[in-house]
Amino acid sequence: MVYFVATPIGNLKDITLRALEVLRSADVIFCEDTRHSLKLLNAYEIKKPLVACHKFNERAAAEKIISAAAEGRQVAVISDAGMPVISDPGGLVCEELRKAGVSYTVVPGANAALSALILSALPADKFAFIGFLPDKQGERRRLLEKYRDLELTLIFHSAPQDVDRYIADMYAVFGDRPASAVREITKLHEEALPFTLSAGLEGEKRGEYVLVVGGAEQKESELCSLSETEHIRHYMEQGLDKKEAIKRAAKDRGVTKSELYKFSLDL
């Protein structure tokens, strides 16, 4: 059997009992970076053969995994942090396993995107995970265009050196929206910094980021069909404070802020 095993995204204690059980019983562990994975395995006194499985050798690694499974060996596949396959190596391995008729399963656990979504305080009832954006600006903006009109929260991964240009392109494509930059998840200096796309994110960028961005606003006609209170609540759920939410709703409805104020008293 082949197991895709989630590993901690920061705090080494965020690993499940089942994950430890699978790693301890595995005959071989395929990992993104053997040096990085050794830190986790050494912390739990797990000593197993490690084989690299990263984006540059994934097809070759898949062949080795299939061969090991055919020999009846138990195989674990892990990435440096979080869930394999999700913005990490492993997707091609899954495809090859399916083609070869090799059974595999998943051992769930820590996930940066979902953790960041909660920490952002942006709407979490509907969301889309986009992951990393393309390096070239033209390709990046064309991809962002596909998600411009989605009325749901968007989640992106970003390296620190890419944060500012990602935000600039999001503002160019989406216009102004509430957002949150989440970093150091589960670690000592964990933080979720709210900002708007127009203002950008201030300060030095350090560590891996998850950028959580508010979705497209409902069309004005749809918003005006809501009650005054629900209209104001809609903008507050997008991350705006009550004062700004009243201002936006008043603009949609073509009335003064004072006319709407009484509908916000219970919010």
CB 41 within 8 A of CB 48: yes
Q: What is the pLDDT of residue 106?
A: 98
Which of 219, 18, 212 has its CA nearest to residue 123? 212
Q: Say whether pLDDT at 224 is over 80.
A: no
State the virtual CA torsion across 78, 162, 151, 84 in degrees, nearest 10: 0
Amino acid at 228: E
pLDDT in tens, 16-63: 999 999 999 999 999 999 999 999 999 999 999 999 999 999 999 999
Q: Say whether pLDDT at 79 is over 70.
A: yes
Under CATH, what is the fold of the domain 2-110?
Answer: Cobalt-precorrin-4 Transmethylase; domain 1 (3.40.1010)
Q: What is the DSSP letter of 131?
A: E
Rounded Cα–Cα distance for residues 149 and 214 (Å): 11
Q: What is the pLDDT of residue 250?
A: 84
What's this model's pTM, rounded to 2 decimal places? 0.81
Mean pLDDT of the chain: 94
Which of 179, 200, 204 has its CA nearest to residue 189? 204
Query: Residues 131-136: what's their mean pLDDT?
Result: 97
Q: How confident is the model at residue 249 (pLDDT cuts 50, 70, 90)?
A: confident
In the chain, domain spans = 2-110, 113-213, 220-264
Q: Say whether pLDDT at 85 is over 90.
A: yes
Distances (CA, A) of 63 to 46, 50, 51, 52, 208: 25, 15, 12, 12, 31
Q: What is the pLDDT of residue 161?
A: 97
Higher pLDDT, 234 or 13: 13
Rounded Cα–Cα distance for residues 47 and 28 (Å): 10
Rounded Cα–Cα distance for residues 189 and 191 (Å): 6
Under CATH, what is the fold of the domain 113-213?
Answer: 3.30.950
Extract the runs of DSSP E, i.e. beta strands, from 57-122. Answer: 75-78, 104-107
pLDDT in tens, 163-197: 999 999 999 999 899 999 999 999 999 999 999 99
Q: At what angle do helices 91-100 and 58-70 cross, to 10 degrees?
A: 40
pLDDT in tens, 197-212: 999 999 999 999 999 9
Q: What is the pLDDT of residue 140?
A: 97
Q: What is the pLDDT of residue 244?
A: 85
